[in-house]
Amino acid sequence: MPELGKYAVHVLSSYGLSLALLVGIVAVSLVRSRSVKARLEALEKQDG
Amino acid sequence: MIALLLRDLRLAVRAGGGFGLGLAFFLIVVVLVPFGVGPEAEILSRIAPGILWVASLLAALLSLDRIFALDYEDGALALIATSPLPLEGAAFVKALAHWITTGLPLTLAAPALGFLLNLKPDAYWFLFISLALGTPALSMIGTFGAALTVGLRRGGLLMSLLVLPLYVPTLIFGAETVRRGAEGLTTTTPLVMVAGITAGVFAFLPFATAAALRINLR
Amino acid sequence: MSLWEYANPKKFMSFTAPILPVVTVAALVCLVSGLVWGFFFTPEDYRQGSTVKIFYIHVPSALMAINAWFMMLVASLIWLIRRHHVSALAAKAAAPVGIVMTLIALVTGAIWGQPMWGTWWAWDPRLTSFLILFLFYLGYVALWAAIDDPDTAADLTSVLCIVGSVFAVLSRYAVNFWNQGLHQGASLSMDAEENVADIFWYPALVAIAGFVLLFIALVLLRTRTEIRLRRIRALETRARRS
């Protein structure tokens, strides 16, 4: 862990918030991709 | 084209909404501001240009959804689209009618309301000229926004979200003109920019508006 | 063999299926190594202290916020001119990613500005432009969400994107004129004098590559989702008819 000095809160919070946002959009995209894929497969099976 | 313009104007006057409502809204906003920020004449005179511009922008926004909504509902818009008049021309006329019913009265009333906000005497002329040059752009941009959302049942709020960011450049240059005028600085650049935005918007947005209308009428 | 063949949804799906994992892994590698390098192994700036480390997130996200909109503009133009559905869907897929990038740039900028300028927010031209860009993104996404018919939605949002782009550029100049700012000039310009020192620059480059790859991966993933949604819609309509 590098010594961040008096700005530790700023640096860490900006890294934390940014990574949280990135993980958020990735997670939302993945979950939606999964569910849509499952729905499509179910429909196609039904269709024969 | 002139027939369409006259028809729109007549409808606006007969419905009673167009003229009165926008102006009354403008007046109320201007009256509310001193309640919010306090009655000190100095502060008011400093923020007056911005308040007057923002208030007229909001007042113009208020009546935008009527531009196409009624015509869309009763089918008149489809008739206009199939008439020999090009839809681009109709879009232009619609914006012009909106300006005559809202922008023009606002421009004429704004200097009077400037008294309420203790606007500096030098600034009156610039307020009038910048609104006269800028409000047509507001009407045209708004007509474009109205065309985008005409098919939606609750388009009003969405339209505000779409239109307001597009108003930013006009507002900046318009209010800047008045502010510089109040301080006795040279106002040529912002004023020319306001005029340029209006000219550019009227040159290009009728095409975008007509395109949006065609898509919505499909 | 023409580039436009990939505009066929089926072809697009089969073409991107093997690419997506590769891009994802590359994005992760670049992102992690760039940020770790920047966070752990770079010195502090003599004036800004450890806050320079925010640079490795702030600059790439700001870059991507603008480029995402640019990509949407190109995709919208392709949709309006050649009417490839994949193009419209890619623009739709990119918008939320662009929102997140803009948000990251704004948030890290505010956190960075607090110790450096003594304020979270200043009505500085660059900051203000990004706020306006954020509003444009919101409007774009809201318009997509509001319209039921997918083709109408694609058409109208494309028109909005094009008009919005013109106004976004106009706003940038207007805002510049309106207020001279606190924000420093371009840190990545070709002008070497203004550029940041190499030691900060190399990890930033890796981080930028990571953000670009991540953006591509996300857009591919989301576009594939949109294509599948379209297919579901078609199947359901057919089922209802029969």
Q: C97 vs A39: CB contact, 8 Å cut-off?
A: no
From C49, C104, C232, residue closest to A7, measured CB to CB: C49
Which residue ranges make up each domain of chain B? 2-217
Which residues of chain A lie closer than 8 angstroms to C103, CB-CB?
A: 21
Per-residue model confidence as pLDDT tens digits over C160-169: 999 999 998 8
What confidence score (pLDDT) does residue C192 get? 44
Q: Which tops the pLDDT comparison, B181 or A6?
A: B181
**According to the model, what pLDDT value does residue C142 have?**
93
The residue among B109, B173, B113 whose CA lies nearest residue B138 is: B173
Residue B142 to residues B185, B213, C11, C16, C208, Cα–Cα distance (Å): 31, 13, 41, 40, 38
Supply the pLDDT for residue C222: 94
- Determine the pLDDT at residue B9: 73
**Whether residue C241 has pLDDT greater than 50:** yes
Query: d(Cα C51, Cα A10) in Å, to the nearest integer?
Result: 7
Nearest to B212 among C139, C156, C173 (CB): C156
Give the pLDDT confidence score for residue A11 in this predicted structure. 83
Instruction: Evaluate if residue B145 carries a pLDDT over 50.
Output: yes
Q: Chain-wide mean pLDDT for chain C?
A: 84
Q: Is C235 on the interface with A (CB under 8 A)?
A: yes
**Looking at residue B13, what is its pLDDT?**
66
pLDDT by residue (tens digit) across B107-121? 988 888 888 888 888
d(CA C134, CA C106): 9
What local confidence, expressed as pLDDT, does residue C61 receive? Answer: 92
User: What's the pLDDT at C211?
Assistant: 93
- Confidence grade of residue B167 (pLDDT, cut at 50, 70, 90): very high
Distance between CA atoms of residues B169 and B114, nearest Å: 22
Q: CB–CB of B202/B92 below 8 Å?
A: yes
Nearest to C100 among A3, A13, A25 (CB): A25
Identify the bridge partners of residue C45 per DSSP, sorted by sequence position.
Answer: C49
Residues in B 149-168 with any Cβ partner in C closer than 8 A: 149, 151-152, 155, 158, 161-162, 164-166, 168
For the cut 50, the answer to whether the pLDDT of residue C46 exceeds it is yes
Distance CA C179, CA C176 (A): 6
CB contact under 8 A, C138 and B161: yes
Is pLDDT above 80 for B3? no
- Report whether pLDDT(C228) > 70: yes
Query: Which stretches of chain A are DSSP H helices?
Result: 8-47
Q: Please give the pLDDT value at position C190.
A: 42
Mean of the per-residue pLDDT values of chain B: 86
Measured CA to CA, the distance from residue B31 to residue C119 in angstroms comes to 32
- In single-letter form, the type of residue at position C151 comes to D
Q: A4: which DSSP letter?
A: -
Q: Is C5 on the interface with A (CB under 8 A)?
A: no
Contact map slice: C 56-85 vs A, CB within 8 A: 57-58, 61
* Residue that wins the pLDDT comparison between B142 and B82: B142
Strand-pair partners of C49: C45
Residue C43 confidence (pLDDT): 74
CA distances from A40 to C16, C201, C219 (A): 18, 45, 20
Q: Calculate what percentage of chain B has a pLDDT beyond 70.
A: 96
Q: Does C49 touch chain A (CB under 8 A)?
A: yes
Residues B61-85 have a mean pLDDT of: 83
Residue C114: both structure tokens together = 């607090």
Structural domain boundaries of chain C?
24-180+190-241
Q: Do chains B and C touch (3 or more CB pairs under 8 A)?
A: yes
For residue C234, the model assigns a pLDDT of 85
Alpha helix ranges (H) inside C83-188:
85-117, 125-146, 150-178
**Per-residue pLDDT tens over the stretch C189-220:** 444 444 566 677 788 889 999 999 999 999 99
Q: Over 80: is that where the pLDDT of B182 sits?
A: yes
